[in-house]
Amino acid sequence: MCGIIGYTGPDQALPIVLAGLQTLEYRGYDSAGVAIDGHGALAVVKRAGKLANLRAELDQIQLAGTCGLGHTRWATHGEPNDPNSHPHVDAGSSLALVHNGIIENHAELKAELAAAGHTFTSDTDTEVIAHLVGSLHDGDLAAAVRAALPRLTGQFAVAVMDHRDPGTLVAARRNAPLVLGHRDDASLLSSDVAGLIAHTRDVEALLDDQVAVLAPGAVTVTDLDGNPAQGHRYTVDWDIAAAEKGGYEHFMLKEIHEQPAAVRDTLIGRTDAEGRIVLDELRGGPDAAQDLRHVDKVYVVACGTSYHSGMVAKYAIEHWAGIGVEVEIASEFRYRDPILNPHTLVVTISQSGETADTLAAAEHALAQRAKVVAVTNVVGSSLARMADAVLYTRAGPEIAVASTKAFTTQIVALDVLALYLAQERRALFPDECRDHLARMEALPALIEQVLGQEAAIADLAHTFAGADYFMFIGRHVGLPIALEGALKLKEISYLHAEGFPAAEMKHGPIALIGAGGPVVALATRGHVWSKITSNIAEVKARGAVVLAIATEGDTEIKAHADHVVYVPEVLELLYPVLTVVPLQLLSYYIALALGCDVDQPRNLAKTVTVE
Ligand code: AGP
């Protein structure tokens, strides 16, 4: 999704802005631009396509100035071409503005401004904000922004600079992330902490309808009436190396390999000396002893890969804690009338904590007075701030668009939550909880074992890379992994891949099986093993080549499948943490074989901050 970077300080702004944009590339974008205040005049340069196109253009011109803004655009209104790229300028080209999000009433505002004589050069909603702020500017840029915001409907993070106010950046947000960076000699802003950590760890997440004015080494935040305000200020505790590739060819591969450590971190410190689960994080919200005991219904709400981890959690919460769970896509949940009350626990899952649909679902649940727990990876994210309580997944920064370590850590965090619910509600005996936790603590070493088969999985990927249609089938906890395996593959290799409940095949999808089409079957040992092997037989009988993900030591599976990748034996509910790993590697190596852009797949954004 779009990325914003801004700098004002003693150094030349352009190299800092460009480096910041490069850091934000992983969010996904299709054009980029910069604005630099060159002593009395603004220079705006923007180009469709990758950052390299913008850099090539900038190589031809000298842009000097110590205050600047940069933007990577992920097109929503208007195609990804030069005029639609950001920054956009106002009628007199005095100010330049960048924007993330969507202005829902842009058509109405545009008509009003056009009637007043404004002409527009792009199809974007953003240009309307630039003109609106420009029209309200009466010598004070921050005042103009404060006056413009109440006119905007939708979600936005905006940053603006004006050559009449040199060295100053003004920023504001509503339902879209914007983080300020504090330094003694300079001030920065970005849509993402990753854009700031090369310069400072002292950051401040701006809150909704706050306006920040940045000068070198000085930041002032106000509300819309101009009263002093404060964002959420904190220190970033992860290292810049965590956001770099560390010798791997792609972030995705690095993040796949980080899973043992990430899962270990997720589990650290979740128990007391007696081995009881302690989730202090929940005490600020739905109190463990009180509210959680009275929960009579759980909704799990998320998007994409996070939704799949939510599906896995359903099995764990229902089985261990004995509470009914419904799992729903956030964008659907928010537009129906779920029956929620103070005894409903709504678990919202989001790696970024900024996914617009998930935020809206959480808001909807809070409005109905349900208890909202956020399971997220990003400290201080919007979801973390709005929820009653937060369970951090501690996966470290996930840069690749295709989510991997965020997924496995989400499952582990949700399993801990399920056991905690079971413990507090006495649905399991303490020694059962301890035993399950001990088995979870063994997961990092078991993931290492699965990763040890990387070369063999890469070979399989070469075998399959020529196929144009993949099916993934699974039952019970194998089903979410089938869906996740298919999502991962289509996301980064652009191959058609679908996941199905294995028994549903004969109700329609089996018609798609042609001679030789690969079917990946989640076939680990458990109470549905004999069922899935029958489903494998059904597809094989119709010509499918089957790759089974099975339990180590299961020699019988070889009679059913053409290829087998083994994972170590674990508790049935914990298999997803292991079985997804070969599917991540399979997708990675197929995408690599097909020459795809693994870390920044086409059309996709890392953080989906629009509805
Ligand atoms: C995963 O590979 C995807 N890129 C995507 O489905 C993602 O999981 C989804 O957009 C939700 O993001 P979130 O976890 O940050 O809310």
Name the residue among 59, 122, 76, 126 with its Cα closest to residue 98: 126
Name the band, by pLDDT with cuts 50, 70 and 90, for residue 283: low
- Report CA(351)–ligand 1 centroid distance (Å): 7
**Mean pLDDT confidence for 97-122:** 92
pLDDT of the residue at 288: 46
CA 167 to CA 151: how far, in whole Å? 27
Q: What is the CB < 6 Å shell around ligand 1?
A: 303-306, 350-352, 355, 358, 401-403, 491, 607-608
State the residue for tokens 């981890």. 309
Joined tokens for residue 31:
């054009």
Query: Which amino acid type is present at position 232?
Result: H
CB 94 within 8 A of CB 163: yes
> Mutation test of ligand 1: which of 403, 597, 606 has the most ligand atoms closer than 8 Å to its C-beta?
403
Rounded to whole angstroms, how far apart are CA atoms 46 and 22?
A: 15
Residue 294 pLDDT class (50, 70, 90 cuts): confident
pLDDT in tens, 399-425: 899 999 999 999 999 999 999 999 989
Predicted confidence (pLDDT) at residue 292 exceeds the cutoff of 80: no
- Strand-pairing partners, residue 522, are 549
- The set of residues, in sequence order, having a beta carbon less than 8 Å from that of 548 and lying 6+ positions away, is 520, 521, 523, 536, 557, 560, 561, 563, 564, 565
- Amino acid identity of residue 277, one-letter, is I
Q: Which of 232-246, 298-312, 456-470 has the lowest mean pLDDT?
A: 232-246
Higher-pLDDT residue of 337, 131: 131
Which of 349, 354, 410, 608 for mutating ligand 1's site (highest number of atoms within 8 Å of CB)? Answer: 608
Angle at 540 between CA 539 and CA 543, to 5 degrees: 95
Neighbours of 373 (CB within 10 A): 26
Q: Which of 2, 67, 433, 596 is catalytic?
A: 2
Q: Ligand 1 atom closest to Cα of 410?
A: 14
pLDDT digits (tens, 9 = 90+) for 3-56: 999 999 999 999 999 999 998 887 667 899 999 998 778 999 999 998 999 999
Q: How confident is the model at residue 290 (pLDDT cuts 50, 70, 90)?
A: low
Which of 288-297, 300-309, 347-356, 508-517 comes out lowest in average pLDDT?
288-297
How far is it, in rounded angstroms, from Cα 308 to Cα 302? 8
Q: How many angstroms separate the CA atoms of 162 and 148, rounded?
A: 15
Region class of 209: left (phi > 0), else alpha (psi between -120 and 50), else beta: left
Domains along the sequence of the chain with CATH:
3-243 (3.60.20.10), 256-441 (3.40.50.10490), 448-593 (3.40.50.10490)
Q: What angle is formed at CA 576 by the lines to CA 572 and CA 580, rounded to 5 degrees?
A: 145
pLDDT tens digit sequence for 52-77: 999 999 998 888 999 999 999 877 77
Asked whether residue 287 carries a pLDDT value surpassing 60, the answer given is no
**Interval 259-274: pLDDT, tens:** 999 999 899 888 888 8
pLDDT band at residue 281 under the 50/70/90 scheme: confident
Instruction: Give the 3-state secondary structure of residue 222.
Output: strand
Band (245; pLDDT cuts 50, 70, 90): confident
Residue 70's region, left for phi above 0, alpha for psi from -120 to 50, else beta, is beta
Contact present, 127 and 120 (Cβ < 8 Å): yes
Query: Any catalytic annotation for residue 371?
Result: no
**Nearest CA owner, ligand 1 atom 10:** 304
Radius of gyration for the alpha carbons in the chain, expressed in angstroms and rounded: 25
Nearest CA to ligand 1 atom 8: 305
Inter-residue contact 205 to 45 (CB < 8 Å): no
Give residue 177's Cα distance to chain centre: 12
| Stretch 225-253: mean pLDDT | 84
The chain-wide mean pLDDT, for the chain, equals 92
pLDDT of residue 514: 79
User: Rounded to an integer, what is the distance from CA 388 to the centroid of its chain?
Assistant: 20
- 606 Cα–ligand 1 center, Å: 7
Q: Residue 289's pLDDT band (boundaries 50, 70, 90)?
A: very low
Q: Taking the CA atoms of 374, 377, 378 and 380 in sequence, report the sign of the dihedral they define.
A: positive
Write down the pLDDT at residue 284. 57
Q: Is 596 a catalytic residue?
A: no
Give CA separation, 482 vs 113, 304, 309, in Å.
51, 13, 12
Contact 407, 483 (CB under 8 A): no
The catalytic residue among 314, 371, 488, 606 is 606
Asked whether the predicted pLDDT for residue 320 surpasses 70, the reply is yes
Return the SS3 of 4: strand
CA of 376 to the centre of ligand 1 (A): 11
So what's the pLDDT on residue 76? Answer: 74
- Sequence-ordered strand ranges (E) for 322-383: 325-329, 344-350, 371-376
Residue 379's pLDDT is: 78
